[in-house]
Amino acid sequence: MLQTEEIKLEQSKHGFSGFKIELWKYQGEMGALIPLLQSAQETYGYIPESAIDYISEIVGIPSAEIYGVITFYSQFRLKPMGKNIIKVCDGTACHVNASTMIIRAIESELQIGNDETTEDGLFTLQKVACLGCCSLSPVIMINDETYGRLTPKKAQQLLNEYREQAQKE
C-alpha cells in the first residue's frame, strides 16, 4: 500500500485532484470501493480507466475485479454520457401504445442502440421500464423535459430541435 503522502502525490500526478473525496482516506479500508467509484463517476460523469487503475492502488483490489463491480451495478458507466440523455419509456402503457416504434425511430435517427452515445456526444439513449407518465404514452424524457403522445415522426422532430439548439450554443 502507498503511504498517505505518496497517495496524494500520485493523485495529483494522475490528475485526480478533482475527486470529490480525498482518496487517501480510504487506503486499505474495507467497503471503500463503492464510494470511490461513485466519487469518480460524480467527478467525471463516468469512470475512466485511469481512475480504475488508481482506485485499484488505493483499495488493493485488482482492476479486473473492479471492472466486475462496475459492470454488475447499472449505476456505473465506463463511457461518457451524451449532453442530452434520452429516456424512452417501455413500460406496459407505453409498450401497448407502440413505444417500440419510437425506440426504432430514435435508434435509426441517431444510429445508436440502447445505452449508447452518438459519436458527437450529443445524445445517449436509454430504454427504461417506466417514467410514470402512463396517461401520456408513449413518452420519452430528454434531460428533464417530458414529451408524450409521441409518434416516430414527432420523436425525430424533437431530436432535430435539440440538434439545432446545440448548433446555436
pLDDT score at 126:
94
User: Of 43, 53, 68, 77, which is closest to residue 2 (Cα–Cα)?
Assistant: 53
Q: Which CATH number fits domain 4-72: 1.25.40, 1.10.3470, 1.10.10, 1.20.272?
A: 1.10.10
Contacts with 27 (C-beta within 8 Å, 6 or more apart), sequence order: 1, 2, 4, 7, 58
pTM above 0.75, yes or no: no
Asked whether the predicted pLDDT for residue 124 surpasses 90, the reply is: yes
DSSP per-residue codes, 95-133: HHTTHHHHHHHHHHHHT--TTEE-TTSSEEEEEES--S-
Question: Cα separation of 154 and 151, whole Å?
Answer: 5
Domain ranges of the chain: 4-72, 84-168
124 vs 160: CA distance, rounded Å: 14
Distance between first and last Cα of the chain: 46
CATH superfamily label, 84-168 = Glutaredoxin (3.40.30.10)
Please give the helix or strand (H or E) that residue 17 lies within, else none: none
Q: What is the pLDDT of residues 10-31, one digit of tens each?
A: 444 445 555 555 554 555 555 7
Identify the weakest region by mean pLDDT among 5-19, 51-65, 74-88, 103-117: 5-19
Mean pLDDT (whole number) for 46-68: 92
Q: What are the start-end ranges of the E strands in the chain? A: 84-89, 116-117, 123-128, 140-142, 145-147
